[in-house]
Structure 1
Amino acid sequence: MEAEAELIVHLARPANIPWLDRDHSILAFNERVFDWAQREDVPVLERLRYLGIVSSNLDEFFEVRVADHLEAARDGVEDDEFSVESYAGISAKAHALVQRQYELYNSRLLPALAEHGIQIFSHGKRNMGQRRWVKEYFDREIRPLLTPVALDPAHPFPQVANKSLNFIVRLDGEDAFGNRNEVAIVKVPRVLPRFVRLPDSLAGGKGKIGVVSLSSMIRAHLHEIFPGRTVVEFSQFRVTRHSDLAVTEGEVQNLRTALRKGLQHRHFGKATRLEVSKSCSESTVNLLLAQFDLPVQALYRVEGPVNLVRLSQVIDLVNDERPHLLFPRWIPQWPRSLKNSENLFARIRQKDVVIHQPFESFDAVVEFLRQAVKDPDVLAIKQTVYRTGPDSVMMELLREAVRKGKEVTAVVELKARFDEENNINWAETLESIGVQVVYGIVGLKTHGKMLLVTRREARGLKRYGHLSTGNYNPRTAKLYTDISYLTASEVLTAEMDAVFSLLASQAPLPKLQRLQVAPFTLQNSLMQHIGEAQRAAQAGKPARIVAKMNALTDWRLAEAVYVAAQEGVQVDLIVRAACVLPAVNSTPKGGAIRIRSIVGRFLEHTRVFFFQAGEEEHLYLSSADWMNRNMARRVELAWPVTDATLRQRIMDECLVAYLMDDQDAWVLLENGTYRRLEGDTVGASAQQMLAHYFSTAPTVKARPRSSSTRELTQAARNRKRR
């Protein structure tokens, strides 16, 4: 399909379909994650981790999604997406979820930890020995870093950074100058650990583990920070601020410099949420709400730490001694398709390679790059960088490649949300040693994942490529499900090189045979396949769409799928998080839209799209979700899997297994709510099945198999649906 001259533009939401609300859908996803924290069959430290994940997700929700709703509510705006009503709706759902989090933490998780000898000691529960130790720790490690600010005309309310821990204190008595300034703010430095482990001798018995929180230690010794004054009242508080960086790329000379300046202000954007202790007085609450210009709906009273994300530190403090309170360690397996393949280039020349992470190890991708760096016949390496982390072995390998005299090009996406600083640092580091660093295309994020190696061989230059549904991040590759695809296809690698040329020099894309590239051809290609399925259904032929993605919020694709189902297409969607498309059990012409979300031990991140129109079948892997930003504002890739064996394997592992899952699956009902399947049919978890398969001998029949698309269809139809 030839690249179009015009980029895809945003389409307004069609009015004739009962759409689901995107932000309510995001909050519903977090309720599904929260379910893992509630499950008694999950080890207690993992339940604590899931509780923190929900809090982290909510932080990002308030940092990115809430500001427009809040502004609309302030201004009395009423439209389809942002309004007084929309803000009230998401506030109510968020409040309910937060309340459930703290109820679970206090009534079930803390007692469960105590049953296993792990006690988080609040000030009121500490004995004299523990209090003496806390006092010594406070004087030695905490007090020197605290600088309280008493508010008066010369000392206005200090700048409070996004998500930082603070205390507000009301005082009685006079200060050193005879003033009765009664309010003070204590900012807690981020460098201090939020939880500290007590010495074993003070933990309460043999084998016990005692932990104290930073906030409880400061709370216990606030009076010492204000000598000569009486602490009348205090509360911890935390402010969440809008943190989406906005840089008009066409108006800056240097994007890297502009983003670095923007990062300095990110922590002080407009406030969107205020968290305080449950006991905080109304007068203090009103003072804080006025200071941060927030309505009362933005106030969250909590009974416990204001930042549950930091509970991960408790896990880190105790996990070595309580491994049974965690999931059994999963060790990714070396890919079977690369077994006994010391020379990866020789193996990839024979046949394309699929690596299913984290069941198979991302180390194979690192090894591919390592062999390219060490191979004297490799002349050039090109790679996109989106989220790679602060300590990246792959970035170090690119540096080594430069030292060995290879031509290295890195397309670094500086605007990867909340990874901007990491990527800026890597861009500067790589550029300083001679890597050709480019930042992609003005106005677009480069989200497609590509690694291209050019090697001198007997018949001339030969390219080897890696494409992925996920990031070049070895840490998250152990936590996220993704597909890595290694290929020596002359057509596919040549098209990858054309995309690199587009990113580096804005050279127009030639006519591409296999790669679909957003924002040029990807959305229209998907629309074409949906349309072909629809026409097949109208002609009485088999017609099916099965797609797995993280989110579905693109109106154009959603409308096309809805219309196709009305014409008889069978649609099964596996959408992890936000989904605006409603479920439809059946249509007058025999179609259906069945939607499910899988929330398991690993974060589902794979994007796989299957289309059947009569005898024609197409399977794509992609870096893109079905979101407008992916189709219109990002450089994304989708590539077909044409090898029959590999295509069937991906269908089996990424689609059939997940359509059979009735352990970790939630089905979207026609009323817009989700229902968890709890062993409704075979009691199978896709992730557990895949982990079992990849950790056992090939003869073990744990892998779900499907010899044809008809079996794929039948597997879905046999599931119980309500």
Structure 2
Amino acid sequence: MKTEENVQEISRYINRELSWIEFNRRVLEEAQDKDTPLLEKAKFLGITASNLDEFMSVRVAGLLDLQKNGYNKKDFTGYAPASLLRRIFKRTSAFVAEQYKVYKELTRQLAKHGIRIHTFDELSASQQKAANHHFHQIVYPVLTPMAIDQARPFPLINSLGLYLAVVLTRSEDVGKEDAELHFAIVRVPPNFSRLVQVPTRGKAKAHFVFLEEIIREHIHTLFNGYAPVSVHAFRLTRNSDLVLDEEAAEDLLEEIEKELRKRRWGTPVRLEVEKGIHPYALEQLIEEFEISADVFEIDGGPLDLSCMTRLPEMIPENGSLKYPEVQPVYPEDFLEEDSLFDVIRKKDVLIYHPYESFQAVNDFLIEAAEDPQVLAIKITLYRVSGNSLLVRALERAAEYGKQVTVVLELKARFDEERNIAWAKRLEKAGCHVVYGLIGLKTHAKVTQIIRQEEDGLRRYMHVGTGNYNENTARLYTDVGLFTSDAEIGEDASSLFNEITGYSTAPRLNQLVSAPTWMAGELARLIGRETEFARAGSPARIIAKINSLSNQEMIDHLYEASQAGVKIDLIVRGVCCLRPGVPGLSENITVRSIIDRYLEHSRLFYFENGGEPETWLSSADWMTRNLTRRVEVMCPVRGRTTRDILVRILKLHLKDTAKARLLQPNGTYLRRTEEDGGFRSQFEAAKIKAWKKPAKRGQPSDVTAPAPADR
């Protein structure tokens, strides 16, 4: 009989949400790894908290909506919303408990190195004096106590904001058993640092106290005539997904601004409270938010550990407590000529971030903006850094009279407000800003520059796997291709015409776009390997992606495995495919690499009967990417660039230090070696050594690596 407990074991697929929880657990492992520097452990711990916040406010919120509306149909992994939610809350509760165990151990280890996080009572007299001064001079003026009674209704509680629940009694009633209780709320100011630094002596590096600890100590100053009975922190997570009627919206920018205001009133999803919260306070919160089963009682540390991501930047020391600083190198190909256009006209150039500098992409736009021969620039923007040189280059190009078209995705989740600001700024500079296609997110990463040259117009292209964001380009691994290939340039023009004008998605020459063509083309490429295997010809697939959750793609891979195709998948996050199942997927391996940098590139290798094809893409193999987003997959055809892409894949398949292998039961097994093993990101950092092209007469490196251990 199929039960909730054994459905995972008998399903052909792993559930997406449960797979995501396993991914976040792998991130937490980096905060537990003895080889991870201490301050980097703090960063990884904070990342797991931010990840969990987004998961609860989007994925869990969506499931709760389905349950509330009576939806009980099972997904392709065998779960209905109700049974899945039970599993999710059980696993996330255990995960949160593990987070706080890590926090306790981390603070203990940090203290040995002179970095302490105190409670207020643990501060010395001089440190308390400094904290008191900070409160009275900086914090107190912005605090607003909010009493709750018949005349003063419950205030708006912002999603993921940190608040103090204060239970009070009148000063004259202190000590009375029947004293009337009163309830109030104080928000911890979000625009101040949670970690407040206090003076240290001797060899101590840094001492901190949490901001809410300081406010708690002085809470009596906010309620004259009342005495605090208890003060405990709480935090509410709301549904943060936007619901847009794009068809009916007269102005998409205004519609999104309106929906962003509504986000503050999203349905409550999770309530976090400090252990020991006063029963009266908890009763008030549960009644107001109409939430009971989804209350997380936090023991052993502060609410909202995401603040730990900032700890490394607050400590100037850069020795053994942090990763050694790595300076991205400027791509050597672009040092050959004064102009990037001169280089790209002669050859394709593949660059690998963060080991190679994103400044090359900025320079591509900066040179285009100032080059009088450049007539037009077209670019897609999804997530942009706060102080973007690239955006400034686009503004200058428009001011110089060039035709600048920016496809700016306003619906990039949690970047909506920033992108609205960018849209207004670019429009003011004279750029033509387009918000994309109705019902679709534009997630492709494409730049096109049209230049007038002696022999006519030439299109210069950049196609990438990651966002045009110079900040994340130092933290994420991504690949970008510069090319002046005429067919790719023609395809890009067609793609931009589809987005900006009335044009159906055509079948392109070299680029493959979603949502119209990509799923079918990937199925064709996998099917071709299947036929080669059946015919006894070389058949091999290597795919590096962030997530794999589309059922049809998984089924195509299962069929290829059964035909004998050797398949190695490098999937950082969610993976719904079960590898290594006899008769189903015994020819498939899945590995996840979690390390210093976030693995973000999407790279594909198909053996093609001995004539390999390599691709880069903006798209993961998820239903949303293949059916609800504008995405691009670009062939990497030049010998040198193909060699580089294959070497990148080889580095990942050789990793024995940070790779975890997915097992048939959905767990991940880490391969550990006494010497630390082969660490792909550390080897990739030696880019000047391994990226050198093969000398003339030497064999190409395009042959795929041997199949991974199974």
SS in 2 for 1:548: strand
Amino acid in the other structure paired with 2:154: F
Q: Corresponding residue for 1:93?
A: 91
| 1:147-197 C-alpha deviation (Å, 9 max, x unpaired) | 112211111111100111101111122699xx9551111122212221111
State the shift of 1:615 in Å.
Answer: 3.1
Residue 35 in structure 1 maps to residue 29 in structure 2:
yes
Asked if the contact 2:444–2:631 (Cα under 8 Å) also holds between the matched residues in 1, the reply is yes
Q: Corresponding residue for 1:491?
A: 487
Distance between the aligned counterparts of 1:405 and 1:625, measured in 2? 37
State the shift of 1:314 in Å.
Answer: 2.9
Q: Corresponding residue for 2:50?
A: 56
Asked if the contact 1:533–1:611 (Cα under 8 Å) also holds between the matched residues in 2, the reply is yes
Distance between the aligned counterparts of 2:91 and 2:10, measured in 1? 26
Question: Aligned match of 2:267 in 265, 270, 277?
Answer: 270
Q: Corresponding residue for 1:9?
A: none
Q: Corresponding residue for 1:172?
A: 169
Distance between the aligned counterparts of 1:699 and 1:454, measured in 2? 29
> Matches of residues 395-410 of structure 1 in structure 2 within 5 Å?
395-410=391-406
Q: Corresponding residue for 1:5?
A: none
Question: Aligned match of 1:145 in 120, 142, 146?
Answer: 142
State the shift of 1:707 in Å.
Answer: 5.2
Q: Corresponding residue for 2:300?
A: 303
- Closer, same or farther in 2 for the Cα pair 1:613/1:54, shift >3 Å? same
State the shift of 1:315 in Å.
Answer: 2.5
Distance between the aligned counterparts of 2:460 and 2:300, measured in 1? 55
Residue 353 in structure 1 maps to residue 349 in structure 2:
yes
Moved more, 33-42 or 674-683: 674-683
- How many pairs does the alignment contain? 691
Residue 286 in structure 1 maps to residue 283 in structure 2:
yes
Asked if the contact 2:169–2:180 (Cα under 8 Å) also holds between the matched residues in 1, the reply is yes
> Matches of residues 204-243 of structure 1 in structure 2 within 5 Å?
204-243=201-240
Moved more, 63-72 or 270-279: 63-72
State the shift of 1:282 in Å.
Answer: 3.9
SS in 2 for 1:414: coil
SS in 2 for 1:249: coil
> Matches of residues 634-673 of structure 1 in structure 2 within 5 Å?
634-653=629-648, 655-673=649-667
- Closer, same or farther in 2 for the Cα pair 1:360/1:322, shift >3 Å? closer
Question: Aligned match of 2:253 in 242, 253, 256?
Answer: 256
Distance between the aligned counterparts of 1:139 and 1:440, measured in 2? 49
SS in 1 for 2:404: strand
- Report the RMSD for the aligned CA atoms in angstroms: 2.4
Amino acid in the other structure paired with 1:105: Y
Counting aligned pairs with the same residue, the percent is 38
Question: Aligned match of 1:612 in 584, 607, 615?
Answer: 607
| 1:268-306 C-alpha deviation (Å, 9 max, x unpaired) | 311111111112134432332222122323424233221
Distance between the aligned counterparts of 1:222 and 1:509, measured in 2? 61
SS in 2 for 1:551: coil
Distance between the aligned counterparts of 1:690 and 1:510, measured in 2? 38
Distance between the aligned counterparts of 1:136 and 1:245, measured in 2? 42
SS in 1 for 2:612: strand
State the shift of 1:331 in Å.
Answer: 0.5
TM-score normalised per structure 2: 0.93
Amino acid in the other structure paired with 2:241: D
Q: Corresponding residue for 2:64?
A: 70
Asked if the contact 2:45–2:309 (Cα under 8 Å) also holds between the matched residues in 1, the reply is no
Amino acid in the other structure paired with 2:521: S
Distance between the aligned counterparts of 1:351 and 1:710, measured in 2? 21
Distance between the aligned counterparts of 2:691 and 2:62, measured in 1? 53
- Closer, same or farther in 2 for the Cα pair 1:241/1:66, shift >3 Å? same
Q: Corresponding residue for 2:462?
A: 466
Question: Aligned match of 2:100 in 99, 102, 115?
Answer: 102
Distance between the aligned counterparts of 1:61 and 1:335, measured in 2? 37
Asked if the contact 2:232–2:277 (Cα under 8 Å) also holds between the matched residues in 1, the reply is yes
State the shift of 1:677 in Å.
Answer: 1.3
- Closer, same or farther in 2 for the Cα pair 1:237/1:571, shift >3 Å? same
SS in 2 for 1:284: helix
State the shift of 1:245 in Å.
Answer: 1.1
SS in 1 for 2:647: helix
TM-score normalised per structure 1: 0.92
> Matches of residues 181-200 of structure 1 in structure 2 within 5 Å?
182-199=182-199
State the shift of 1:657 in Å.
Answer: 1.0
- Closer, same or farther in 2 for the Cα pair 1:143/1:695, shift >3 Å? farther
State the shift of 1:208 in Å.
Answer: 3.8
Distance between the aligned counterparts of 2:135 and 2:436, measured in 1? 49
Asked if the contact 1:46–1:326 (Cα under 8 Å) also holds between the matched residues in 2, the reply is yes
State the shift of 1:545 in Å.
Answer: 1.2
State the shift of 1:390 in Å.
Answer: 2.4
- Closer, same or farther in 2 for the Cα pair 1:325/1:706, shift >3 Å? farther
Distance between the aligned counterparts of 1:428 and 1:706, measured in 2? 52
Q: Which structure 2 residue ranges, 5 or more long, are not aligned? A: 1-8, 174-178
SS in 2 for 1:35: helix
- Closer, same or farther in 2 for the Cα pair 1:681/1:616, shift >3 Å? farther
| 1:197-240 C-alpha deviation (Å, 9 max, x unpaired) | 113xxx24344422111011011111222222221112100111
State the shift of 1:639 in Å.
Answer: 1.1
| 1:319-347 C-alpha deviation (Å, 9 max, x unpaired) | x1354411111110111222332211111
Residue 446 in structure 1 maps to residue 442 in structure 2:
yes
Distance between the aligned counterparts of 2:50 and 2:570, measured in 1? 23
Residue 46 in structure 1 maps to residue 54 in structure 2:
no
- Closer, same or farther in 2 for the Cα pair 1:680/1:535, shift >3 Å? farther
- Closer, same or farther in 2 for the Cα pair 1:115/1:436, shift >3 Å? same
- Closer, same or farther in 2 for the Cα pair 1:508/1:85, shift >3 Å? closer
Distance between the aligned counterparts of 1:548 and 1:451, measured in 2? 23
SS in 2 for 1:296: coil
SS in 1 for 2:686: helix
Question: Aligned match of 2:431 in 427, 431, 435?
Answer: 435
Amino acid in the other structure paired with 1:393: L
Distance between the aligned counterparts of 1:682 and 1:322, measured in 2? 22
Amino acid in the other structure paired with 2:572: R
Question: Aligned match of 1:19 in 13, 19, 31?
Answer: 13
Q: Corresponding residue for 2:325?
A: 329
Asked if the contact 1:63–1:241 (Cα under 8 Å) also holds between the matched residues in 2, the reply is yes
Residue 425 in structure 1 maps to residue 421 in structure 2:
yes
Asked if the contact 1:223–1:229 (Cα under 8 Å) also holds between the matched residues in 2, the reply is yes
State the shift of 1:508 in Å.
Answer: 2.6
- Closer, same or farther in 2 for the Cα pair 1:208/1:245, shift >3 Å? same
| 1:558-582 C-alpha deviation (Å, 9 max, x unpaired) | 1111122122211110000001111
Distance between the aligned counterparts of 2:405 and 2:286, measured in 1? 49
Q: Corresponding residue for 2:73?
A: 79
State the shift of 1:436 in Å.
Answer: 0.8
Amino acid in the other structure paired with 2:191: V
Distance between the aligned counterparts of 1:711 and 1:390, measured in 2? 39
> Matches of residues 666-705 of structure 1 in structure 2 within 5 Å?
666-679=660-673, 683-694=677-688
Distance between the aligned counterparts of 1:290 and 1:340, measured in 2? 68
Distance between the aligned counterparts of 2:590 and 2:470, measured in 1? 31
Amino acid in the other structure paired with 2:282: V
State the shift of 1:67 in Å.
Answer: 1.3
| 1:511-555 C-alpha deviation (Å, 9 max, x unpaired) | 421010101111100000111111122222222111000000111
Distance between the aligned counterparts of 1:186 and 1:316, measured in 2? 28
Amino acid in the other structure paired with 2:134: Y
Q: Which structure 1 residue ranges, 5 or more long, are not aligned? A: 1-14
State the shift of 1:644 in Å.
Answer: 2.1
Q: Corresponding residue for 1:342?
A: 338
State the shift of 1:72 in Å.
Answer: 4.7
Q: Corresponding residue for 2:550?
A: 554
Asked if the contact 2:461–2:489 (Cα under 8 Å) also holds between the matched residues in 1, the reply is yes
Amino acid in the other structure paired with 1:685: R
Asked if the contact 1:20–1:582 (Cα under 8 Å) also holds between the matched residues in 2, the reply is yes
